[in-house]
Amino acid sequence: MAELSPGFTLIDGQPQTQLSVRDRGLAYGDGLFETLRVANGFIPLLEQHLARLHRGAARLGIEYDAAQLAEELARLAVQLGSGILKLILTRGDGQRGYALPQPQQPRRIVQVAALPAYPASHAEQGIRLYPCATRLGQQPLLAGLKHLNRLEQVLARAEWNDPAFAEGLVCNQQGEPVECTVSNLFLRLEGEWVTPALDQCGVQGVMRDYLCMQLAAAGQSVSVRPVTQAELLASREVFCCNSVFGVWPVIGLGNHQWSIGPYTRQAQALAQQVML
Protein backbone atom coordinates (compact mmCIF):
# COMPACT_ATOMS: atom_id res chain seq x y z
CA MET A 1 0.00 0.00 0.00
CA ALA A 2 1.53 3.33 -1.05
CA GLU A 3 2.35 5.71 1.77
CA LEU A 4 0.50 9.01 1.64
CA SER A 5 2.64 12.14 1.76
CA PRO A 6 1.77 15.33 3.62
CA GLY A 7 -0.16 17.57 1.25
CA PHE A 8 -1.89 14.69 -0.50
CA THR A 9 -5.53 15.67 -0.89
CA LEU A 10 -8.70 13.91 -1.99
CA ILE A 11 -11.62 16.03 -3.14
CA ASP A 12 -14.77 13.95 -3.46
CA GLY A 13 -12.54 10.91 -3.64
CA GLN A 14 -10.26 12.21 -6.40
CA PRO A 15 -6.62 13.18 -5.85
CA GLN A 16 -6.46 16.93 -6.51
CA THR A 17 -5.34 20.06 -4.73
CA GLN A 18 -7.57 22.69 -6.37
CA LEU A 19 -11.25 23.32 -5.94
CA SER A 20 -13.96 25.43 -7.50
CA VAL A 21 -13.88 29.11 -6.62
CA ARG A 22 -17.67 28.81 -6.26
CA ASP A 23 -17.44 26.60 -3.20
CA ARG A 24 -19.56 28.01 -0.39
CA GLY A 25 -16.89 26.97 2.08
CA LEU A 26 -14.81 29.78 0.62
CA ALA A 27 -17.64 32.25 0.10
CA TYR A 28 -19.29 31.96 3.52
CA GLY A 29 -17.38 29.41 5.60
CA ASP A 30 -20.43 27.27 4.85
CA GLY A 31 -19.16 23.95 6.10
CA LEU A 32 -17.53 21.94 8.86
CA PHE A 33 -14.20 20.31 9.58
CA GLU A 34 -12.57 17.63 11.69
CA THR A 35 -8.90 17.08 12.49
CA LEU A 36 -8.27 13.37 12.82
CA ARG A 37 -5.24 11.82 14.43
CA VAL A 38 -4.15 8.58 12.77
CA ALA A 39 -2.12 6.03 14.71
CA ASN A 40 -1.30 2.51 13.55
CA GLY A 41 -3.70 2.91 10.63
CA PHE A 42 -6.53 3.70 13.01
CA ILE A 43 -8.39 6.92 13.92
CA PRO A 44 -8.95 7.15 17.67
CA LEU A 45 -12.35 8.57 18.60
CA LEU A 46 -13.52 8.31 14.99
CA GLU A 47 -17.09 7.64 16.07
CA GLN A 48 -17.09 10.81 18.16
CA HIS A 49 -15.59 12.88 15.31
CA LEU A 50 -18.23 11.57 12.92
CA ALA A 51 -20.98 12.22 15.45
CA ARG A 52 -19.90 15.84 15.88
CA LEU A 53 -19.75 16.25 12.10
CA HIS A 54 -23.24 14.81 11.89
CA ARG A 55 -24.55 17.24 14.53
CA GLY A 56 -22.99 20.15 12.66
CA ALA A 57 -24.34 19.03 9.30
CA ALA A 58 -27.81 18.62 10.79
CA ARG A 59 -27.64 22.12 12.28
CA LEU A 60 -26.47 23.67 9.01
CA GLY A 61 -28.73 21.52 6.84
CA ILE A 62 -25.87 19.98 4.86
CA GLU A 63 -26.90 16.63 3.39
CA TYR A 64 -23.98 14.27 2.83
CA ASP A 65 -23.23 10.57 2.45
CA ALA A 66 -22.01 9.69 5.95
CA ALA A 67 -21.25 6.04 5.14
CA GLN A 68 -19.13 6.96 2.11
CA LEU A 69 -17.22 9.49 4.20
CA ALA A 70 -16.56 7.06 7.05
CA GLU A 71 -15.39 4.41 4.60
CA GLU A 72 -13.02 6.85 2.90
CA LEU A 73 -11.50 8.00 6.20
CA ALA A 74 -10.95 4.45 7.44
CA ARG A 75 -9.32 3.46 4.15
CA LEU A 76 -7.03 6.54 4.14
CA ALA A 77 -6.06 5.89 7.76
CA VAL A 78 -4.85 2.41 6.84
CA GLN A 79 -2.83 3.81 3.94
CA LEU A 80 -1.43 6.65 6.05
CA GLY A 81 -0.45 4.59 9.08
CA SER A 82 0.46 7.58 11.22
CA GLY A 83 -0.29 11.27 10.77
CA ILE A 84 -3.19 13.69 10.51
CA LEU A 85 -6.23 13.64 8.24
CA LYS A 86 -8.01 16.96 8.02
CA LEU A 87 -11.55 16.63 6.74
CA ILE A 88 -13.51 19.58 5.39
CA LEU A 89 -17.16 19.13 4.44
CA THR A 90 -18.67 22.09 2.60
CA ARG A 91 -22.12 22.71 1.17
CA GLY A 92 -20.46 22.60 -2.26
CA ASP A 93 -20.77 25.08 -5.07
CA GLY A 94 -23.29 27.88 -5.04
CA GLN A 95 -24.35 30.83 -7.09
CA ARG A 96 -24.20 34.37 -5.78
CA GLY A 97 -26.27 34.88 -2.63
CA TYR A 98 -26.84 33.19 0.72
CA ALA A 99 -29.88 31.11 -0.31
CA LEU A 100 -29.14 27.39 -0.25
CA PRO A 101 -28.39 25.78 -3.62
CA GLN A 102 -31.05 23.34 -4.83
CA PRO A 103 -30.03 20.58 -4.98
CA GLN A 104 -27.03 20.70 -2.67
CA GLN A 105 -23.93 18.85 -3.78
CA PRO A 106 -21.74 18.89 -0.69
CA ARG A 107 -18.00 18.58 -1.20
CA ARG A 108 -15.70 16.49 1.00
CA ILE A 109 -12.04 17.34 1.18
CA VAL A 110 -9.49 15.19 3.00
CA GLN A 111 -5.96 16.54 3.40
CA VAL A 112 -3.01 14.53 4.71
CA ALA A 113 -0.59 16.17 7.15
CA ALA A 114 2.24 15.02 9.36
CA LEU A 115 1.73 14.66 13.10
CA PRO A 116 2.70 17.99 14.72
CA ALA A 117 6.16 17.91 16.29
CA TYR A 118 5.19 19.04 19.79
CA PRO A 119 7.99 18.96 22.39
CA ALA A 120 7.59 16.00 24.73
CA SER A 121 7.95 18.49 27.59
CA HIS A 122 4.48 19.88 26.88
CA ALA A 123 2.92 16.67 28.16
CA GLU A 124 5.58 15.94 30.76
CA GLN A 125 6.31 19.32 32.36
CA GLY A 126 3.19 21.21 31.31
CA ILE A 127 2.58 24.38 29.32
CA ARG A 128 1.91 28.06 29.86
CA LEU A 129 -1.22 29.70 28.44
CA TYR A 130 -1.17 33.07 26.71
CA PRO A 131 -4.10 35.18 28.00
CA CYS A 132 -5.82 36.10 24.72
CA ALA A 133 -7.63 39.43 24.63
CA THR A 134 -9.82 38.18 21.77
CA ARG A 135 -13.15 37.12 23.23
CA LEU A 136 -15.52 34.61 21.70
CA GLY A 137 -18.80 35.93 20.38
CA GLN A 138 -22.05 34.74 21.89
CA GLN A 139 -23.88 32.59 19.32
CA PRO A 140 -25.82 29.63 20.69
CA LEU A 141 -26.87 28.50 17.19
CA LEU A 142 -23.27 27.67 16.28
CA ALA A 143 -21.77 26.97 19.71
CA GLY A 144 -20.09 23.59 20.05
CA LEU A 145 -19.84 22.97 16.31
CA LYS A 146 -16.56 22.70 14.45
CA HIS A 147 -17.66 24.90 11.56
CA LEU A 148 -15.55 26.85 9.10
CA ASN A 149 -16.26 30.30 10.60
CA ARG A 150 -13.06 30.51 12.60
CA LEU A 151 -11.97 34.14 12.46
CA GLU A 152 -12.14 34.36 16.25
CA GLN A 153 -9.55 31.61 16.58
CA VAL A 154 -7.39 33.24 13.90
CA LEU A 155 -7.47 36.55 15.79
CA ALA A 156 -6.78 34.89 19.14
CA ARG A 157 -3.88 32.81 17.80
CA ALA A 158 -2.38 35.87 16.10
CA GLU A 159 -1.97 37.57 19.49
CA TRP A 160 1.27 35.79 20.40
CA ASN A 161 4.37 34.40 18.72
CA ASP A 162 6.44 33.59 21.81
CA PRO A 163 6.91 29.78 21.81
CA ALA A 164 6.95 29.98 25.63
CA PHE A 165 3.15 29.84 25.27
CA ALA A 166 2.01 26.54 23.78
CA GLU A 167 -1.64 27.55 23.86
CA GLY A 168 -3.86 30.56 24.49
CA LEU A 169 -6.77 30.96 26.88
CA VAL A 170 -9.90 32.39 25.28
CA CYS A 171 -12.80 33.88 27.22
CA ASN A 172 -16.39 34.76 26.34
CA GLN A 173 -17.88 38.26 26.09
CA GLN A 174 -18.21 38.34 29.90
CA GLY A 175 -14.52 37.53 30.37
CA GLU A 176 -15.18 33.99 31.59
CA PRO A 177 -12.73 31.26 30.49
CA VAL A 178 -14.26 29.02 27.80
CA GLU A 179 -11.51 27.10 26.03
CA CYS A 180 -8.10 27.42 24.39
CA THR A 181 -7.50 28.17 20.71
CA VAL A 182 -7.30 24.51 19.66
CA SER A 183 -8.22 22.63 22.83
CA ASN A 184 -10.68 22.43 25.72
CA LEU A 185 -10.08 23.27 29.34
CA PHE A 186 -10.53 21.30 32.58
CA LEU A 187 -10.22 22.76 36.10
CA ARG A 188 -9.84 20.84 39.34
CA LEU A 189 -12.12 22.57 41.86
CA GLU A 190 -12.99 21.30 45.34
CA GLY A 191 -12.92 17.58 44.70
CA GLU A 192 -14.28 17.62 41.17
CA TRP A 193 -13.38 18.41 37.59
CA VAL A 194 -15.14 21.32 35.92
CA THR A 195 -15.08 22.05 32.20
CA PRO A 196 -16.67 25.23 30.83
CA ALA A 197 -20.13 24.95 29.28
CA LEU A 198 -20.11 25.40 25.50
CA ASP A 199 -23.73 26.32 24.84
CA GLN A 200 -23.00 29.96 23.96
CA CYS A 201 -19.60 29.70 22.25
CA GLY A 202 -16.64 27.36 21.88
CA VAL A 203 -15.95 24.06 20.17
CA GLN A 204 -17.09 20.82 21.76
CA GLY A 205 -13.92 18.76 21.48
CA VAL A 206 -14.15 15.00 21.12
CA MET A 207 -11.35 14.47 23.65
CA ARG A 208 -13.25 16.66 26.12
CA ASP A 209 -16.34 14.51 25.71
CA TYR A 210 -14.30 11.32 25.94
CA LEU A 211 -12.59 12.50 29.13
CA CYS A 212 -15.88 13.58 30.69
CA MET A 213 -17.09 10.01 30.22
CA GLN A 214 -13.89 8.26 31.20
CA LEU A 215 -13.22 10.40 34.27
CA ALA A 216 -16.75 9.76 35.45
CA ALA A 217 -16.28 6.04 34.81
CA ALA A 218 -13.10 6.21 36.91
CA GLY A 219 -15.07 7.67 39.82
CA GLN A 220 -14.29 11.36 39.27
CA SER A 221 -17.12 13.86 39.32
CA VAL A 222 -17.18 16.14 36.25
CA SER A 223 -19.35 19.26 36.03
CA VAL A 224 -20.09 21.12 32.79
CA ARG A 225 -21.01 24.69 33.65
CA PRO A 226 -19.95 28.34 33.25
CA VAL A 227 -16.62 29.06 34.92
CA THR A 228 -15.31 32.37 36.24
CA GLN A 229 -11.78 33.72 35.97
CA ALA A 230 -11.58 33.60 39.78
CA GLU A 231 -12.47 29.91 39.75
CA LEU A 232 -9.78 29.22 37.17
CA LEU A 233 -7.18 30.96 39.31
CA ALA A 234 -8.43 29.19 42.46
CA SER A 235 -8.31 25.74 40.89
CA ARG A 236 -5.79 23.16 42.13
CA GLU A 237 -4.98 21.68 38.73
CA VAL A 238 -5.66 22.72 35.16
CA PHE A 239 -5.22 20.96 31.85
CA CYS A 240 -6.15 21.41 28.24
CA CYS A 241 -6.91 18.58 25.84
CA ASN A 242 -7.65 17.69 22.27
CA SER A 243 -7.62 14.58 20.15
CA VAL A 244 -4.24 15.33 18.55
CA PHE A 245 -2.05 15.92 21.61
CA GLY A 246 -4.14 14.36 24.34
CA VAL A 247 -3.71 16.15 27.69
CA TRP A 248 -1.26 18.94 28.44
CA PRO A 249 -1.02 20.03 32.08
CA VAL A 250 -1.31 23.82 32.42
CA ILE A 251 1.30 25.31 34.73
CA GLY A 252 1.00 29.01 34.02
CA LEU A 253 -1.23 31.87 32.90
CA GLY A 254 0.23 35.36 33.17
CA ASN A 255 1.77 35.56 36.65
CA HIS A 256 -0.31 32.72 37.98
CA GLN A 257 1.24 29.28 38.37
CA TRP A 258 -0.13 25.81 38.95
CA SER A 259 1.65 22.60 39.78
CA ILE A 260 0.83 19.34 38.04
CA GLY A 261 -1.24 17.10 40.28
CA PRO A 262 -2.27 13.46 40.35
CA TYR A 263 -5.72 14.09 38.91
CA THR A 264 -4.21 15.60 35.78
CA ARG A 265 -1.88 12.64 35.42
CA GLN A 266 -4.89 10.35 35.70
CA ALA A 267 -6.66 12.27 32.91
CA GLN A 268 -3.50 12.14 30.84
CA ALA A 269 -3.29 8.38 31.21
CA LEU A 270 -6.94 8.02 30.18
CA ALA A 271 -6.28 10.12 27.07
CA GLN A 272 -3.20 8.06 26.22
CA GLN A 273 -5.23 4.87 26.35
CA VAL A 274 -7.39 5.98 23.43
CA MET A 275 -4.60 7.57 21.39
CA LEU A 276 -2.43 4.50 20.85
The least distance separating a copy of itself from the CB of residue 100, rounded to whole angstroms, comes to 5
Residue 179 annotated to the active site: yes
220 and 263 in contact (C-beta within 8 Å)? yes
- Full 3-state SS string of 149-192: CCHHHHHHHCCCCCCCEEEEEEEECCCCEEEECCCEEEEEECCE
- Whole-angstrom distance, CA of residue 84 vs CA of residue 111: 8
Give 35 or 82: the residue with its C-beta nearer to a copy of itself.
Answer: 35
CA 18 to chain centre: 25
Smallest distance, Å, CB 113 to a copy of itself?
Answer: 5
Active site residue 86: no
Residue 192 neighbours by CB under 8 Å, 6+ apart: 220, 221, 222, 223
Q: With binding defined as CB under 8 A, does residue 197 bind a copy of itself?
A: no
Of the listed 34, 72, 152, 179, which one is catalytic? Answer: 179
Does 27 help bind a copy of itself (rule: CB under 8 A)?
A: yes
Residue list 45-104, contact with a copy of itself (CB under 8 A): 60-61, 84, 86, 88, 90, 95-100
Query: Cβ atoms within 10 A of the Cβ of 164, count?
Result: 10
- The CB density around residue 196, as the number of other CB atoms within 10 Å, is 26
Question: How many alpha carbons lie under 13 Å from residue 217 in its C-beta half-sphere?
Answer: 8
Decide if residue 111 touches a copy of itself (CB under 8 A): yes
> In this chain, which stretch among 147-155, 183-191, 230-238, 250-258 interacts with a copy of itself, using CB under 8 A?
147-155
Cα separation, 163 vs 19, whole angstroms: 34
- Give the nearest distance from C-beta 89 to a copy of itself in angstroms: 12
Closer residue to a copy of itself, CB minimum distance, 60 or 212: 60
- Catalytic residues, by residue number, are 35, 146, 179
Residues that bind a copy of itself (CB under 8 A): 9, 11, 16-30, 33, 35, 60-61, 84, 86, 88, 90, 95-100, 109, 111, 113, 116, 134-139, 141-142, 147-158, 173, 181-182, 201
